[in-house]
Chains A and B, each alone.
Chain A
Amino acid sequence: MKAVLEVKNLKMYYDTQAGQVKAADNISFSLYEGESMGLVGESGCGKTSVSMSIMRLLPENARIISGNIFFGGKDIVKISNEDMNKVRWAGISMIFQAAMNSLNPVYRVGDQIIEAITTHEPNVTFEEARQRVASLYKLVGLDPERMDNYPHEYSGGMKQRAVIAMSLACNPKLIIADEPTTALDVIVQDTILRELEKIQKKLNMSMIYISHDIAVIAEVASKIAIMYAGKIVEMSDSITIFKRPAHPYTVGLMSSFPSIRGPKKELVTIPGEPPNLLNAPDHCRFAPRCPFATDECWKKEPSYEEIENNHFVACFHPQNLKKQVRNNVG
């Protein structure tokens, strides 16, 4: 299998008046054709920073310090903005966090999708582009007649579908869905995620889902990376993550969401809050909130290692957990 996207030791820092904020620190992962990956973590842990680094849509004070992002064999960290414009949408497209606001209110929704098509494929005529939009609308479950409406004439769920249709407009190899359903109610959320998964399988695209909700992600992603304080702390396929979570943070995330079918249990929350990335500590970043922290955890940072086949964890005590998890979750 060929890797569509390969992120290697990506470091992205924000320069602020108070100092450097290490929003993404040593991020590495690769994504294969047709594979979908979930990027999970609390707010402010750097998920969106990673996705914006991949799209090169960073604010002015953000810098990619080091690392590479290979897409289609090219290192897109180094190419010019004009070349990057060709990669955007045609190669990697995005479904944004707030689909409600990601459509321009003064243009017709269909025209905004056509704009993406004609920008990247100048030979496509307006009529052909319209036909493509119509078929995209059918694909995402929208009435093609609605493409001449303005965004304010759509409901929230319809806007979300339109945004998904837009992300598919140029047949990208990779779609980054940044909290694609957060603004929707639970029922619509589920429908849209399932449809997204179906489309992804059908078109054999790669996909990165970004969410704070590990339960939602596990349903649609084949692989999950858990991020904490700008780092990936655990990564494996979703089944392994669910059956044998090794990092205490992953365990915490999973027990803080209710299970519908399982027995009723009090939800466990993770005490404390994520560290301030401005003064990132040099010990394990989760140690202050970790119930299993030992002296070792307070002295140095754990390395990111493969503890079993295709299961990477950055923790000194991954073995400790198995029993603990069985008591808690299983």
Chain B
Amino acid sequence: MMLKYIGNRILQIAILLVIYVAIVFFLLHAMPGGIKTLLISNPKLTPQAQEAIIRAFGLDQPLWLQFVDYMKNVFTLNLGISFSYYPTPVWNIIAERLPRTVLLFTVATLIAFFVGFASGKSLAWNRGKTTEYVSTIVGIITYTIFTPLLIFVMIWFFGSFLGIFPLNQFLNPDLWIHTHLNAQVIFLYILLTMLIIGIVMLVSYLMALRFSHRIRTRRLIFYLSTIIAVVFSLFFWWISPVGIYAADILWHMVLPVMTVTIISYAGNMLVMRDSMLETIKEDFITTARAKGLPDKVVRDKHAARTAMLPVVTNFVLSLGFVVSGGVITESLFSWPGMGMTLLDSTLAKDYPLAAGALIFTGIFVLFAHLAIDIIYAFLDPRIRY
């Protein structure tokens, strides 16, 4: 049943992708200006050189021919060569930058989800207290604040005023100049470590579910194995000679992650608060209390578990903002990820790179939706595909 559903969804995603890829092409070419004006405005290029470039990239051909070529290339997984980073293939640029964006936003979105979930839960549970009003107002402010303003305030406060976090960039060039290490390799190792910890958490959770029926034992298994995994990986990085470089990259990640978290936690918190307030009025909450369950069990196991379903929906919707928010956040933090690439390549009329960036963000969002749909089926037994 589930497999059939996933198969169907992947088919849908494939169709959506074709449509999306086509739209991307026309959007890019509908931009005013075009590559020719850009080349003409460059005084270093002679008219002959300009002609040569235009012919080399096939930009002198009619649009529909370009479109056919483009579609053919995309679906043979050939994204072409970037204009602005000539002669680097688009693939390489994306392979370098996509993981950075995915890491930054996955970490921030997950933190925002859990912070929003936990605070929304306790706000609703402690209804009517001063903390509820204060947090709600703070939440609404951070939810509606103009993103660049928040980023500037964050950079000023933490980077300049307190001076504890780097202002921007992905790494500190002074540190890396004396080494032959490739930042990308180190970064991929960080990603791998996080993936391993994530898998350990998932496996221990499933094991705990299988082997024990007592919540306390389950929790013990889960937390213990998570802590062991984290401690082990920290130890591994500590003894390895490249640990300090990894720490440098992570250090540069703190401020952007914090900012994206602040921008997106409030939505989760407010939705969770509302949903929780609705849920605690339900009859099954009264039943849970009548059963003599401790307050915390009623709150976490019965109320929050059921109330989290709309928050998961909100989480899906917020994934869309990963793209748009990425452009602003990454540019202002000079974080060389997909958002910044998209902005730069669009401004430079670098069609292949812009198209590649858009296509990959599209694929990411579509698959994130699929993942959430699958998770939703596990969270809500009433949903069967």
Contacts and interface: CB of A to CB of B under 8 A. Distances in A.
B291 interface: yes
Interface in B370-385: 379-382
A4 interface: no
Interface in A76-119: 81-82, 84-90, 93-94, 96-98, 101-106, 108, 114-116, 118-119
Interface stretch (B47-55, B241-249, B280-288, B343-351): B280-288
B306 interface: yes
B250 to A, nearest CB: 37
Interface string B256-294: 000000000000000000000000001110111111111
Give the interface residue-count category, chain A: 20 to 34
Contacts of B302: 104
A96 B292 contact: no
A126 interface: yes
B283 A101 contact: yes
B382 A103 contact: no
A57 interface: yes
A87 B292 contact: yes
Interface string B183-214: 00000000000000000000000000000011
Nearest to B305: A106
B292 A119 contact: yes
A166 B292 CA distance: 13
Interface residues of B, number: 23
B292 A89 contact: yes
A120 interface: yes
A88 B291 contact: yes
Contacts of B305: 104, 106
B292 A102 contact: no
A55 interface: yes
B381 A116 contact: no
A272 B295 CA distance: 42
A29 interface: no
Contacts of A87: 292
A104 to B, nearest CB: 4
Interface of A: 55, 57, 81-82, 84-90, 93-94, 96-98, 101-106, 108, 114-116, 118-120, 126, 150, 152, 166
Nearest first, the 4 A-B pairs at minimum CB distance are A88-B292, A101-B283, A126-B213, A85-B292
28 contacts: A57-B290, A81-B295, A84-B292, A85-B292, A87-B292, A89-B292, A90-B292, A93-B291, A96-B283, A98-B283, A101-B284, A102-B286, A104-B306, A105-B284, A105-B306, A105-B380, A105-B381, A106-B305, A108-B381, A114-B213, A115-B293, A116-B291, A116-B292, A118-B214, A119-B291, A119-B292, A152-B381, A166-B291
